[in-house]
Structure 1
Amino acid sequence: MKGCMREATVPYFCNAQLIVDVVIWLTIGSPVLYLYLMGSPYEAGFFCDDTSLKYPDKPSMISDALLTGVAFGLTTTALLMVEVMNRLERKYKKSRCLSGDPFICLKGFGIFLFGFVITQLFTEVLKNTLGRLRPTFIDVCRPDFSRINCSQGYITNYTCTNKENLTNKLRTIHQSFPSGHAAFAMFTTMYLVLYIQKRLHITYSHILKPTVQAALFLLSLVCGITRITDHKHHPSDVVAGLIIGSIVACAIFHSLGTKFLNDTKHEKSSKDDEEDGNWVPNINGCQTPLPLLQNEFDVSGRSPSFVLKQPIKISTSVTV
């Protein structure tokens, strides 16, 4: 049947484009991983009367492992469910051509991985460059105030005396700005919101898409709030992380998502329906099914002697 595209076959993965993209991804990801595990942040100083650095240290409600697992699991589930719902929608409407590429989920997940690395690159570079102290700095470091002259104002020469904390924790107290949790959570949320907006095509509900999108935004905001209530970040750190995640998600989706996530089969089918003559313009300029148009002009069941090719414009004038 004209207009129906054949179902996509398994693509040839070992091509030059994929190899180049993977090499670039690894080239960016390797330094990001190094900065995350062994980065040496700038050791900023502090003021003795700075109360924003005197919060008690406590465990995080959302750990790095939990955030990563939820983000990747939620993204995988969402991408799969969108394509499944699209396929069910097409079968329900009995479309001539089933919409959706079987490998669209892999494309979407690949774009997500690239955006994840870019988000982490921005956050890790800023963390290690600025070296802002976390709200729990005094409790984690426990500087020896007997050797500090607070009258000097900004203190840069100090020694941490807390031997209970591991070296990694003493390193991360200089990595407050921006919030990596907030950036990653907002990137995941914004990417899924844009993906759902572009890829999900359903007619049985008008509020399903905005409801899911609002729920995703709420999850990212809750993640950011917990970083403040857990005393891991200052409010400005979380706001900056949310902004970074949003900007990266929008930029990545605009540059890659709009190109590789197009519903080409659905668009092709709709265009070919018009070319095949199944839809023709009526006298009002709107599209009308041809069988209905035939019934309007020939109630006896005989074939009409003409078919409208162009809209008929009727103009009236009144002469006084």
Structure 2
Amino acid sequence: MQTKKMKGCIKDATVLHFCNTQLIVDIVLWLSIGSPVLILHMMGSPYEVGFFCDDTSLKYPYKPGMISNALLTGVAFGLTTTTLLMVEVMNRLERKYKKNRCLSGDPFICLKGFGIFLFGFVIAQLFTEVLKNAVGRLRPTFFDVCRPDFSRIDCRQGYITNYTCTNDEHLPNTLRTIRQSFPSGHSVFSMFTTVYLVLYIEKRLHITYSHILKPTIQAAIFLLSLVCAVSRITDHKHHPSDVIAGLFIGSVVACAIFHSLGTKFLNDPKIEKTSNDDEEEGNWVPNTNGCQTPLPLLQNEFDVSGRSPSFVLKQPIKISTSVTV
């Protein structure tokens, strides 16, 4: 009861001002993180490492990638937007036709979910760009793109660090990115998107007309990520270890972001309001759907033996948690 009184003491103008302040602070922080990511991606200078003349892992022929950066970005953002909207629409239909009061399709939650996705995307890219420039690993097509002048290199020295690229067929940006193999940026982004959407679907989508629809959607999204990751190996853009590291980084960032923000801001406000009101009255019990059910509604459902009850509970059930040693 004290909570309700406290809520009444807060003016709407104060709440609106606080929300606007939060929004401004979050946008400033997002831009402060996103700006270095963009600078590193466009003008980052990777650490210069050497090579061995007989390193067969660097002798693959160069070819255009099957999935470009623009295609990956478009598919990832488009898939995220479609999935978030689809989940809320399916929840709304479930509530309408099944009369499930515990579900609702809230478009505002889509905006919050997409905002969390954007923040996680920037964090994942920050890890990717920092590691790419700090490690400076050579791509599998290094010899074909760089074409070092071996007539001036004494391979008997073993590890070669003094060399000059003679290939002028590629743009300077291609020669720069040839030393940014670890980790795979495509793998990081695709796996981050996949894990985030899988966790979002698991938390938000609640349907009763199919038991396998949810895992089917999750498996399809996961398959797209694996196809993207494998293509980076078959296109000779990354070493297998680069792809594995990218998948791991993307998964960890997605789980961390969803655990810290998604579990807090993606709850259904209607369910939360019902749960808090019932909890204050002391007459609720949890059901298997994750909703809080008032005890008086359960008094007319089943008795201990499973039959329709012939009695009505007069007092709320109290469970003692004391332990006697």
TM category, shorter: 0.7 to 0.9
Q: Which residue of 2 aligns with 1:209?
A: 214
Q: 1:134–1:174: 8 Å Cα contact kept in structure 2?
A: yes
Q: Which residue of 2 aligns with 1:171?
A: 176
- In the TM superposition, 1:226-237 aligns within 5 A as 226-237=231-242
d(CA) in 2 for partners of 1:114, 1:250: 13
What amino acid sits opposite 2:92 in the alignment? R
- In the TM superposition, 1:156-305 aligns within 5 A as 156-266=161-271, 268-269=273-274, 274-275=293-294, 277-280=296-299, 282-284=302-304, 293=309, 297=310
Runs of 4+ in 1 over 6 A off after TM superposition: none
CA apart distance, 1:276: 7.2
d(CA) in 1 for partners of 2:102, 2:195: 30
Q: 1:282–1:311: 8 Å Cα contact kept in structure 2?
A: no
CA apart distance, 1:283: 3.3
Q: How many residues align?
A: 287
- TM-score normalised by L of structure 2: 0.83
Q: Which residue of 1 aligns with 2:113?
A: 108
Q: Which residue of 1 aligns with 2:5?
A: none
- In the TM superposition, 1:33-44 aligns within 5 A as 33-44=38-49
d(CA) in 2 for partners of 1:97, 1:131: 52
Query: Are 2:113 and 1:93 aligned?
Result: no
Q: 2:85–2:107: 8 Å Cα contact kept in structure 1?
A: no
d(CA) in 2 for partners of 1:266, 1:80: 19
Q: 1:183–1:243: 8 Å Cα contact kept in structure 2?
A: yes
What amino acid sits opposite 1:92 in the alignment? Y
1:76-98 residue CA offsets vs partner (Å, 9 max, x unmatched): 00000000000000011124576
Identity over aligned pairs, percent: 78
What amino acid sits opposite 1:225 in the alignment? V
d(CA) in 1 for partners of 2:216, 2:162: 52
d(CA) in 1 for partners of 2:166, 2:249: 35
What stretches of structure 2 of length at least 5 have no aligned partner?
1-14, 279-283, 285-291, 318-325
Q: Which has the higher helix share?
A: 2
Q: 1:283–1:311: 8 Å Cα contact kept in structure 2?
A: no
What amino acid sits opposite 1:128 in the alignment? N
What stretches of structure 1 of length at least 5 have no aligned partner?
1-10, 298-305, 313-320
Q: Which residue of 2 aligns with 1:316?
A: none
Higher RCO structure (Cα 8 Å, ≥6 apart): 1
What amino acid sits opposite 2:21 in the alignment? A
CA apart distance, 1:214: 1.0
Structure-2 change in CA distance of 1:253 and 1:151 (3 Å): same
Q: 2:183–2:246: 8 Å Cα contact kept in structure 1?
A: yes
What amino acid sits opposite 2:202 in the alignment? Q
1:173-232 residue CA offsets vs partner (Å, 9 max, x unmatched): 000000000000000000000000000010111111111111111111110100000000
d(CA) in 1 for partners of 2:314, 2:161: 81
What amino acid sits opposite 1:38 in the alignment? M
- TM-score normalised by L of structure 1: 0.84
Secondary structure of 2:107 counterpart: coil
CA apart distance, 1:24: 0.5
CA apart distance, 1:277: 2.2
1:113-149 residue CA offsets vs partner (Å, 9 max, x unmatched): 0000000000100000000000000000000001001
Secondary structure of 1:37 counterpart: helix
